[in-house]
Structure 1
Amino acid sequence: MVVNIPALISIIIFYVAIFIVGIVAGRKSARKTTTDEMYLASRNKGMCIAFFTITATMVGGGYINGTAEMMAASGLVNSLAPVGYSLSMLIAGVMYAPTMRRNNCVTAFDMYQRKYGRRVGGLLFFPQLCGDIFWTAAILSALGTTVALILDISDTLAIIVSAFVAVIYTFLGGLVAVAYTDVIQLLCMTFGLFLAFPFAMHHPAVDLSRVSDTWIGHLDTRDLGSDIDTWLLLVLGGIPWQVYYQRMFACKTTKITRVATTFAVGFCVVLTIPSAVIGVIGKAADWNQTSYEGLVPLPKSKYNAILPMVLNYLCPLPVAVIGLGAVAAAVMSSTDSCVLSTGTVFAKNIYTDVFRQQASVREQIWVLRIAIVITGIIATVLAIAVTTIYVLCSDLLYIVLFPQLTCVLWFRPSNTYGSLMAYIFALVIRVASGEPLLGIPAALKFPMYDDTLGQQFPFRTVTMLISFAIITGVSVLTNCLFKRGILPLKYDVFRCIEKESVRFEKMQDVMNNPQGEMTQNKQEATALKNGEETQML
Structure 2
Amino acid sequence: MAVHWGGVAGMIFFYLIILAVGIWASRKTKGANNTERVMVAGRDFGWFIGLFTLIATWVGGGYINGTAEVVFTPGWGLVWAQAPWGYSFSFVVNGLFFAKQMRAANYVTMIDPFQKKFGNRMGGILFLAAITGELLWCAAILAALGSTISVILELDQNLSVIISACIAVSYTLFGGLFSVAYTDIVQLVCIFIGLWLCVPFALTNKAVTPILQNSGSWLGEWDTRLTGQWIDSCLLIILGGVPWQAYFQRVLAAKTPHHARYLSFYAAFGCFFLSIPAYVMGAVGASTDWTMTNLNLNKTDPYETPGIILPAVIQYLTPPVVAFLGLGAISAAVMSSTDSSVLASSSMFTRNVYKNIFRQSASEREMMWVLRVAVIFVATIATVMALTVDSIYTLFVLCSDFVYVVLFPQFVCVIHIKKSNTYGSACAFVLGLFLRLAGGIFALGMPALIHYPYYDEELGQLFPFRTMAAILSFVSLVVVSYATDVIFRKGYLPKRFDFLNCVVDIDAATDQQVNGNVQALDIVDKMA
- 1: distance between equivalents of 2:33 and 2:40? 11
Deviation string for 1:312-370 (max 9, x for gaps)? 11111111000000000000100000000001111111111112222111111111111
Q: Does the 8 Å contact 2:217/2:287 carry over to 1?
A: no
Q: Secondary structure at the match of 1:419?
A: helix
Unaligned 5+ runs, structure 2: 521-528
| 2:107 is the counterpart of 1:105 | yes
Structure 2 residue identity aligned to 1:48: F
- Alpha-carbon shift at residue 529 of structure 1 (Å): 5.7
Determine the structure 2 residue equivalent to 1:403: 409
- 2: distance between equivalents of 1:239 and 1:274? 24
Determine the structure 2 residue equivalent to 1:165: 167
Determine the structure 1 residue equivalent to 2:63: 63
- 2: distance between equivalents of 1:155 and 1:83? 29
- Alpha-carbon shift at residue 478 of structure 1 (Å): 0.7
Determine the structure 1 residue equivalent to 2:350: 347
Q: Tell me: CA distance 1:525–1:293, structure 2 relative to 1, closer, same or farther (3 Å).
A: closer
- Alpha-carbon shift at residue 33 of structure 1 (Å): 4.7
Q: Tell me: CA distance 1:533–1:3, structure 2 relative to 1, closer, same or farther (3 Å).
A: same
Q: 1:156 aligns with which of 148, 155, 158?
A: 158
- 2: distance between equivalents of 1:131 and 1:109? 14
- Alpha-carbon shift at residue 240 of structure 1 (Å): 0.8
Q: Which has the larger radius of gyration?
A: 1
- 1: distance between equivalents of 2:299 and 2:132? 37
Structure 1 residue identity aligned to 2:480: V
- 2: distance between equivalents of 1:266 and 1:529? 30
Q: Does the 8 Å contact 1:178/1:337 carry over to 2?
A: yes
- 2: distance between equivalents of 1:525 and 1:437? 44
- 2: distance between equivalents of 1:533 and 1:23? 37
Deviation string for 1:44-66 (max 9, x for gaps)? 01100001000011100000111
- Alpha-carbon shift at residue 527 of structure 1 (Å): 2.2
Structure 2 residue identity aligned to 1:460: R
Q: Tell me: CA distance 1:530–1:117, structure 2 relative to 1, closer, same or farther (3 Å).
A: farther
- 1: distance between equivalents of 2:490 and 2:194? 65
- 2: distance between equivalents of 1:134 and 1:297? 25
Q: Secondary structure at the match of 1:124?
A: helix
| 2:173 is the counterpart of 1:187 | no
Determine the structure 1 residue equivalent to 2:34: 34
- 1: distance between equivalents of 2:226 and 2:500? 44
- 2: distance between equivalents of 1:31 and 1:244? 25
Determine the structure 1 residue equivalent to 2:362: 359
Q: Secondary structure at the match of 1:372?
A: helix
- 1: distance between equivalents of 2:517 and 2:502? 18
Determine the structure 1 residue equivalent to 2:292: 289
- 1: distance between equivalents of 2:166 and 2:300? 37
Unaligned 5+ runs, structure 1: 508-523
Determine the structure 1 residue equivalent to 2:131: 129
Determine the structure 2 residue equivalent to 1:96: 98
Q: Tell me: CA distance 1:170–1:20, structure 2 relative to 1, closer, same or farther (3 Å).
A: same
- 1: distance between equivalents of 2:514 and 2:44? 24
- 2: distance between equivalents of 1:481 and 1:353? 29
- 2: distance between equivalents of 1:420 and 1:63? 33
| 2:121 is the counterpart of 1:115 | no
Q: 1:304 aligns with which of 287, 307, 310?
A: 307
Structure 1 residue identity aligned to 2:44: N
Determine the structure 2 residue equivalent to 1:385: 388
Which residues in structure 2 correspond to 1:164-243 (within 5 Å)?
Answer: 164-208=166-210, 210-243=213-246
Larger CA deviation: 213-222 vs 295-304: 295-304
Determine the structure 2 residue equivalent to 1:270: 273
- 1: distance between equivalents of 2:213 and 2:288? 8
Q: Does the 8 Å contact 1:138/1:387 carry over to 2?
A: no
- 1: distance between equivalents of 2:497 and 2:10? 66
- 2: distance between equivalents of 1:373 and 1:147? 23
Q: Does the 8 Å contact 1:287/1:297 carry over to 2?
A: no
Q: Tell me: CA distance 1:529–1:57, structure 2 relative to 1, closer, same or farther (3 Å).
A: closer
Structure 2 residue identity aligned to 1:438: L
- 1: distance between equivalents of 2:354 and 2:316? 49
Larger CA deviation: 436-445 vs 403-412: 436-445
- Alpha-carbon shift at residue 386 of structure 1 (Å): 2.8
Q: Does the 8 Å contact 1:414/1:475 carry over to 2?
A: yes
- 1: distance between equivalents of 2:44 and 2:100? 15
- Alpha-carbon shift at residue 167 of structure 1 (Å): 0.6
- 1: distance between equivalents of 2:511 and 2:265? 33
Determine the structure 1 residue equivalent to 2:435: 429
Q: Tell me: CA distance 1:174–1:442, structure 2 relative to 1, closer, same or farther (3 Å).
A: same
Determine the structure 1 residue equivalent to 2:17: 17
Determine the structure 2 residue equivalent to 1:527: 513
- Alpha-carbon shift at residue 217 of structure 1 (Å): 3.0
Larger CA deviation: 257-266 vs 23-32: 23-32
Determine the structure 1 residue equivalent to 2:7: 7
- Alpha-carbon shift at residue 454 of structure 1 (Å): 0.8
| 2:439 is the counterpart of 1:412 | no
Q: Does the 8 Å contact 1:201/1:281 carry over to 2?
A: yes
- 2: distance between equivalents of 1:531 and 1:355? 30
Larger CA deviation: 47-56 vs 26-35: 26-35
Q: Tell me: CA distance 1:532–1:480, structure 2 relative to 1, closer, same or farther (3 Å).
A: farther
**TM-score, with length taken from structure 1:** 0.92
**RMSD across aligned C-alpha pairs, in angstroms?**
2.0
Structure 2 residue identity aligned to 1:406: V
| 2:376 is the counterpart of 1:370 | no
Determine the structure 1 residue equivalent to 2:458: 452
Paired residues, number: 514
- Alpha-carbon shift at residue 187 of structure 1 (Å): 0.3
Structure 1 residue identity aligned to 2:487: L
- 1: distance between equivalents of 2:19 and 2:302? 38
Q: Tell me: CA distance 1:489–1:531, structure 2 relative to 1, closer, same or farther (3 Å).
A: farther
- Alpha-carbon shift at residue 526 of structure 1 (Å): 3.6
Q: Does the 8 Å contact 1:392/1:435 carry over to 2?
A: no
Q: Tell me: CA distance 1:299–1:151, structure 2 relative to 1, closer, same or farther (3 Å).
A: closer
- 2: distance between equivalents of 1:279 and 1:150? 17
